[in-house]
Structure 1
Amino acid sequence: MGLLSKDALENLKKYAYKGVDKSLVSKYVLNPFWTWFVTLWPLSVAPNTITLSGLCIVLFNFGTIFVYDPAYLAEKGGVDVPRWVYFSCGVGLFLYQTFDAIDGKQARRTGMAGPLGEMFDHGCDAMNTTLEVILASQALNLGRSWWTVASQIATLANFYLTTWEEYHTGQLYLAEFSGPVEGILLICSIFIITGFYGPSFWDQGIISLLHLTNVPFINQLPDLPLNDSFMVFGAFGVCFNVLSSYGNVRRAMRAAGKSTTRPLLLLLPFLVSASIQVFWLIHPRYDTPALIQSALFVPFLCAWGLQFAHQVGRMILAHVTRGPFPSWDWMWVWNMVFAVDANLPLLFDRPSIIQTDAKWRAAVVYLTLAVSFFAYARFCTLVINEITNFYGKKGEDGVWKDAVPDEKRKT
């Protein structure tokens, strides 16, 4: 059975992208550059090809990091990653941002703008989010730590909020300081600084670095390491985005004469998903290292990221088809089963039934990664097939019969 009903497919005809970008950096610096850069691409290049090229660059950076630091320990584990790797991560992320920005411009140049393009764009963004969390945490010398988990939660929360906001308002809002613009440039800067000074640079106390240790009152404050300070800054950013996104949703709901509090319930799916993942991570193990301290930490984060990409993909699909908001995910049951199994010593003072040793725990984590990948891949395949089949149907004579106008069918 297909994912989309006939009414949902018909609603695709009514979809039109709307966005608001209040960033001064985007308006006066990046957008003129993007407008010029897109002209370098032939009209024969599909917008989604540009988007995918950007993601491939990030995947290359991801692979490069783990060639030199396969255990994900950075300098805290005595691993010396060549400095050029961090420079390449900074350049790669900037190129990803650039490609991500011009794919829409290329779509308008070629007449290929449409809902499938937006879904593909958001899907790549969702996958890139977790990849950059892992890469940036390594560059910040955080490695296997709860700070990396906190960074994952904060970054995914920002993305979820933006998608949740777009679903309810019909517009993609980018504030004066947003993740896709200033946030990415900030992470690029982190990579470049790490390239010059190494990951241990971020272990310095912020007060010591600024030579404020002798300044009254300031010297009484905790001398937080730079990497920890960056995480605190991110927490404030999440709080600001929650208030900003809800303000936009509240205004949209009031204008439509709908409840202004009901949309808040649709934030619960993210909280449920993140809580299950954290519950799995906190499991007590006395015979093997805790999951967060083991080599399984990165595969675990990748599985989490794929599940999140699937979650927001369904949200975007609901947005472009005007369907109901997806509030349930069967992967929660999968994750909860193994989270409870891992925590049986804590909950009932009895050993795990499935994850009885390190070998079985590794099998479960990698199986979860595989299931997450195939579930998301299946979703993408079904959506692409159903939408493209709706936009054009091939007759017995081999000729495409238009279901919608030609410029829409090109999508």
Structure 2
Amino acid sequence: MKLYKQRLLSDAQLKRLSEHQYSCQSCSILDTFLQSYWNWLVSKVPIWLAPNLITILGLVINIITALILVWYSPDAKLEAPRWACALCGLGLFIYQSLDAIDGKQARRTGTANPLGELFDHGCDSISTVFVALSACIAVQLGYYPGWMFFQCFCAVTLFYCAHWQTYVSGTLRFGRVDVTEAQFTIMGILAISAIFGPSVWSTKFFSDTFYLWYLIPLSTLVCGLVALYSSLIVIFTGGVGKNGSTVAGTSVLSPVIPFSMVLVPAFIIYQKSTQEIYQNHPALYILAFGLVAAKVTNRLVVAHMTKSEMDYMDWSLLGPTMLFLNQYFNTFVNEYYVLWLCLIWVSVDLMRYCYQICQEICDHLHIELFRIPYPGGPQKVIPPTSSALEKNGSGGKKQQSDEEDSMPLLDNASH
């Protein structure tokens, strides 16, 4: 169902996308230790299971378990049940595990293609919003709305910056402490809340001047600044286009405009609301603006893979515009209802965009999104030759390149 454009991608863009080669550099500490687990896990996956189906299954589990936490504490102040925190942590672990093996499954079945990378990063962009929000709820950060805003939007900003520098340099880069480490840290936060209850984060130290939850924003601030510095260094010095431009030959600063059109209104509306819409409904607010950020990030990934200029305007921005105009006209409509309308709009728009992009790429590459196009899997799978590490994207992806995984030789007898 193509609501806005007959086609989102031109023939030239589809051609460049089909020629796209995934490039990634990673020196993550945990990835090295988890490789044996991921290799074991993918060996247990049926050979007929499509890689993209693995990805979407993990995302659905992650979203459902996070929404259960949101249901019990929509304002991030109420103490969510311990079992809900445990379930959310389990959902994140399942997502991280499935996220790590979808690329391995693609190479195992001989079905690796550019759509897999795009689908992977798209799921990551959505997962990032729910993971950040669930961590805030688990520590009852709703009592400190400013810090909660910082935590959630720091996560989506760093995710966007990782793909911004990829758009500039052509290579996705991850440091020693990055996506996997962040995911397992949040699993640890959820586990502590599950064992001791979310109220444990209000424990005081050092003569009642230091709360336990202070550790979370402080570590986010330090690690975030390091990651942001690394990305900015690449952005300003690593352009592979003409005269140091992006892969599309555009200015390295151009991606800042679309994202600022999400982040700046989110902050202004939060500050100017007479009904304190963010303070009273932080989960709803973060989901609405987070999904807009996910849509913009997806468009950046598409621009990188198609080596094309990124449009500044987007239909999803209509959602925040509703809130802004409502405030401009002295809150003519209750902001709570406008916020719900905004969330519904951006959710539908994001799903429409993802569906249409995937459909156009599938038609061009003559592949199917959730099905391997041969019964029972390939007749023969060629094992890769090395074990260099690779990531699929930020919200949590671990992958290895087509030549970089060491999987056993499999044939139809393995089914």
1:374 partnered with 2:373? no
After alignment, is 104-113 or 329-338 more displaced? Answer: 329-338
Q: Identify which of 239, 254, 261 aligns with 2:225.
A: 239
Alpha-carbon distance between aligned partners in 1 of 2:295 and 2:71, rounded to the nearest angstrom = 28
1:238-296 superposed Cα distances (whole Å, 9 cap, x missing partner): 221121012233443278642599413422332331110111112242xxx411232x4
Q: Kindly tell me: are residues 371 and 68 of structure 1, through their superposed partners in 2, closer, same or farther at Cα, counting changes over 3 Å?
A: closer
| Structure (1/2) with the larger helix percentage | 1
Query: Could you tell me which residue of structure 1 aligns to residue 40 of structure 2?
Result: 36
- 3-state DSSP of counterpart to 2:142: coil
Higher relative contact order (CA 8 A, sep 6+): 2
1:2 partnered with 2:7? yes
Q: What TM-score do you get using the length of structure 1 for normalisation?
A: 0.81
Q: Which runs of 5+ in 2 are unaligned?
A: 1-5, 369-373, 375-380, 382-415
Q: Identify which of 277, 288, 295 aligns with 1:310.
A: 295
Q: Kindly tell me: are residues 368 and 67 of structure 1, through their superposed partners in 2, closer, same or farther at Cα, counting changes over 3 Å?
A: closer
- 3-state DSSP of counterpart to 1:264: coil
- Displacement of 1:30 after TM fit? 1.0
Write the letter of the residue equivalent to 1:375: D
- Displacement of 1:231 after TM fit? 0.9
Equivalent residues of 2:168, 2:240 under 8 A apart: no
- Displacement of 1:364 after TM fit? 1.1
After alignment, is 42-51 or 328-337 more displaced? Answer: 328-337
Query: Could you tell me which residue of structure 2 aligns to residue 226 of structure 1?
Result: 212
Write the letter of the residue equivalent to 1:366: W
Q: Kindly tell me: are residues 106 and 341 of structure 1, through their superposed partners in 2, closer, same or farther at Cα, counting changes over 3 Å?
A: same
1:55 partnered with 2:54? no
Q: Identify which of 259, 262, 266 aligns with 1:273.
A: 262
Query: Could you tell me which residue of structure 2 aligns to residue 218 of structure 1?
Result: none
Alpha-carbon distance between aligned partners in 1 of 2:196 and 2:9, rounded to the nearest angstrom = 51
- Displacement of 1:168 after TM fit? 1.5
Alpha-carbon distance between aligned partners in 2 of 1:68 and 1:254, rounded to the nearest angstrom = 48
Alpha-carbon distance between aligned partners in 2 of 1:60 and 1:137, rounded to the nearest angstrom = 16
Alpha-carbon distance between aligned partners in 2 of 1:389 and 1:239, rounded to the nearest angstrom = 41
Equivalent residues of 1:147, 1:228 under 8 A apart: no
Query: Could you tell me which residue of structure 1 aligns to residue 168 of structure 2?
Result: 168
Write the letter of the residue equivalent to 1:383: I
1:371-404 superposed Cα distances (whole Å, 9 cap, x missing partner): 101111111121122111112399xxxxx9xxxx
Query: Could you tell me which residue of structure 1 aligns to residue 385 of structure 2?
Result: none
Write the letter of the residue equivalent to 2:222: F
Q: Identify which of 278, 285, 291 aligns with 1:300.
A: 285
Equivalence map 1:130-149=2 (5 Å): 130-143=129-142, 145-149=145-149
Query: Could you tell me which residue of structure 2 aligns to residue 347 of structure 1?
Result: none
- 3-state DSSP of counterpart to 2:13: helix
Alpha-carbon distance between aligned partners in 2 of 1:3 and 1:373, rounded to the nearest angstrom = 18
Q: Identify which of 311, 323, 328 aligns with 2:313.
A: 328
- Displacement of 1:153 after TM fit? 1.2
1:306-336 superposed Cα distances (whole Å, 9 cap, x missing partner): 2111111111111111111333334435523
- 3-state DSSP of counterpart to 1:2: coil
1:290 partnered with 2:276? yes
Q: Kindly tell me: are residues 67 and 372 of structure 1, through their superposed partners in 2, closer, same or farther at Cα, counting changes over 3 Å?
A: closer
Equivalent residues of 1:16, 1:114 under 8 A apart: no
Query: Could you tell me which residue of structure 1 aligns to residue 154 of structure 2?
Result: 154
Q: Kindly tell me: are residues 73 and 256 of structure 1, through their superposed partners in 2, closer, same or farther at Cα, counting changes over 3 Å?
A: same
Q: What TM-score do you get using the length of structure 2 for normalisation?
A: 0.80
Q: Kindly tell me: are residues 66 and 252 of structure 1, through their superposed partners in 2, closer, same or farther at Cα, counting changes over 3 Å?
A: closer
Percent identity between matched residues is 29
Larger radius of gyration: 1
Query: Could you tell me which residue of structure 1 aligns to residue 116 of structure 2?
Result: 117
Alpha-carbon distance between aligned partners in 2 of 1:71 and 1:334, rounded to the nearest angstrom = 21
Alpha-carbon distance between aligned partners in 2 of 1:267 and 1:225, rounded to the nearest angstrom = 35
Write the letter of the residue equivalent to 2:62: V
Equivalent residues of 1:23, 1:174 under 8 A apart: yes
Equivalent residues of 1:72, 1:138 under 8 A apart: yes
- Displacement of 1:142 after TM fit? 0.7
Equivalent residues of 2:315, 2:349 under 8 A apart: no
- 3-state DSSP of counterpart to 1:326: coil
Give the aligned length. Answer: 362
Equivalence map 1:317-396=2 (5 Å): 317-332=302-317, 334-342=319-327, 351-352=330-331, 354-355=332-333, 360-392=334-366
Alpha-carbon distance between aligned partners in 1 of 2:317 and 2:84, rounded to the nearest angstrom = 36
Alpha-carbon distance between aligned partners in 2 of 1:233 and 1:24, rounded to the nearest angstrom = 17
1:190-249 superposed Cα distances (whole Å, 9 cap, x missing partner): 0111111111211223x43xxxx5xxxxxxxx9332223311221222221121012233
